[in-house]
Chains A and B, each alone.
Chain A
């Protein structure tokens, strides 16, 4: 079974990023790493291929400056190869533009039984790319998967809900977005790190994918960022001394939040 995983390479959340005041977007000229929320999809894809007893995991990513840092991490985990789209024309792409590029890159990656994504990236958080990819490719889309099994030509998904999960099925190929935290991503082993050095990364431009540059980046963006502002400082919490009735205060507080 062949699985394509869309992975995003993002600025390291441990180093506070900066917003470019001119473009009003996140500065991405720093070293990029694998978005942690994509590591779950990579792990799930590797497990699916292991279970199937054959096939490979291919990564698809769109990043500036030919960045492969995050791809190497996923290749070291066990993915076989990657398609990287890197092109100056992509700067400023909105979610739909990104989806158009990724859809073409997925086609370039070869025949896939399944396309896995995260539910949302850790830097952009639009959470709309997986469904847009599915629509553009004319494929079924299942979101918020907590487990995935492929049997015959059917993908069976436990789709996470607020109350538990729904069992959902679709014919393959399909686009499935994976909820963060549902599997434990493996560590990239040292053998994997050594092997990753020679795994192929197919770097392509927008033109290579047959996309008109006017359809992506700032030129093709259907959205405009009008203003960026600092988030409000978080308010200080309330400290309550426990006079023996502390439990009641907690219960009252949770009731006020309507969580109990």
Chain B
């Protein structure tokens, strides 16, 4: 929430006046999501986190607001700019990374491949319901033994003489898996078949025989988010279940680029929430008869946090503008995802120290964000993988693969 501002002075929550770089329309969308998060997420999210659940009924509220697949055109989607989508991710993650993850997975990982690579029938069957939040989607790429190297996946898809596809394998760490109505699953085809062993995407209704999605428990991160294993035990699908317009790793990687883009904004939201919590706390907490905000060490922490959040937000916004212009390159997404998530984690830890012992409870948002960001640091391309993508981009020498 924007603080009271004295004319001629800076806004402590937006010192560089980054808001002035946003159009009226972008501000309206951003402020709407901010208000939605304040009304519907912040009062409850601490409880969701403590109880380790994400209320499925929120999906329809996200849908009504137009958040699901918001950057896609048609099929019930709003068709907003990439920057607008990013700003929404930022505000959602200022609420909770798990909440933003739900929206990212639905829009960028489940809806995007159907929208970009699906048949007309697949699009009309799934996208309007997914945009409305009536149908929930998930994305199955990562496997127990295949993370940063997704090309090593073991899940297979073989086509029998009838034309049906049969999927076998296990996917791991799948957001929304146990609550999904549809899973976009990536699997390797038969090396001797017509697809010559290339990876293909499949639209799998989760009530298909042989499909199950046990939930992963005992997480201490992203607790307000459902994380699952997908078990595909001879899942038989019609020939029409394959995504017709893409084959090879380009399919899943293009989805990841969409989601990583949103994360680069989202991380700034989590960081901002931590900075704001620390700033408020430091102004109220009195030690040695003075608010701790008056101590030089604390001021330095607050200033470093503020600078980091503002800088990261500028990076995200720049990347958003490039995406809208159609000039954004994959290493630039890596730059923003890698640096902004790292930044957010550092800000969360610094904020935790400002809150002292209070910082370790979920009464305050900081440690919830800090724990969540440990997941965000790793998912959608680990910090290490993004570093090496950039290493390759600047040296021309790939250090992996």
Chain A: residues with CB nearer than 8 A to chain B? 14-16, 18, 31, 69, 72-73, 76, 187-194, 197
Contact = CB atoms under 8 A, between A and B. Distances in A.
Q: Which of B6, B25, B80, B88 has the most CB of A within 10 A?
A: B25
Contacts of B80: 190, 193-194
Contacts of B66: 189-193
Contacts of A15: 2, 4-5
B209 interface: no
26 contacts: A14-B2, A15-B2, A16-B5, A18-B7, A69-B24, A72-B24, A72-B25, A187-B32, A187-B36, A187-B64, A187-B65, A188-B32, A189-B64, A189-B65, A189-B66, A190-B80, A190-B84, A192-B66, A193-B25, A193-B29, A193-B32, A193-B66, A193-B80, A194-B78, A194-B79, A194-B80
A73 B28 contact: yes
Contacts of A194: 78-80
Contacts of B5: 15-16
B354 interface: no
A156 B79 CA distance: 40
B78 A191 contact: yes
B290 interface: no
Contacts of A187: 32, 35-36, 64-65
Interface of B: 1-2, 4-7, 24-25, 28-29, 32, 35-36, 64-67, 70, 78-80, 84, 88
Given A187-B36, A189-B64, A190-B65, A14 B4 contact: yes
Nearest to B76: A191
A22 B123 CA distance: 62
Given A188-B28, A190-B78, 6 more contacts: A16-B6, A72-B28, A189-B64, A189-B66, A190-B67, A194-B78
Contacts of A14: 1-2, 4
A31 B80 CA distance: 23
Contacts of B78: 189-191, 193-194
Nearest to B6: A16
Pairs A-B, 8 closest by C-beta atoms: A190-B66, A190-B78, A189-B66, A191-B78, A191-B66, A190-B70, A187-B32, A14-B2
Nearest to A189: B66
Nearest to A15: B5
B35 to A, nearest CB: 7
Contacts of A31: 24
Nearest to B39: A187
Contacts of B28: 72-73, 76, 188, 193
Q: Which of A189, A190, A192, A197 has the most CB of B within 10 A?
A: A190
